[in-house]
A and B are shown apart, each in its own frame.
Chain A
Amino acid sequence: MAEPTAERMTAPMATRTEETLARAVEVSRRYGDVLALDGLSLDIRSGELVGLLGPNGAGKSTLINLFVGLRRPSSGRVELLGGSPADPARRRGIGVTPQETGLPANLRVREVVDFVAAHYPSGVERGALLERFGLSGLERRQIGGLSGGQKRRLAVALAFVGSPRLVFLDEPTTGLDVEARRSLWEAIRHFHAEGGTVVLTSHYLEEVEALAERVVVIGQGRILADGTTAEVRDIAGVRRVTLTCDDLPGLPELPGVLSTERDGARTHLLTTDADTLVRSLVRADVPFSDLEIRPTSLEEAFITITARESRAA
Chain B
Amino acid sequence: MLGPFLETLIGGLLTGVLYSLVALGFVLIFKASGVFNFAQGAMVLFAALTIARLSGEIDGKEVHLANFVVAAAILGVAVAFIGWYAWREYVARGAGPGERRRMLVLAAVGALVGGIAAYSYGKGAWPLWLAIAATAAIMGLLAYAIERLVLRHLVNQEGIILFMATLGIANFLDGLGQTLWGSDIYKINLGLPKDPIFLFEGVFPGGLLVDPGELVAAAIAAGLVVVLAIFFQKTRVGRALRAVADDHAAAQSVGIPLNTIWLIVWTVSGLVALAAGLIWGAKLGVQFSISLIALKALPVLILGGFTSVPGAIVGGLIIGAGEKLSEVFLAPILVKQFDLAGGGIENWFAYMLALVFLLFRPQGLFGERIIERV
- A and B held together in a complex: no
List B residues at the A interface (Cβ < 8 Å): none
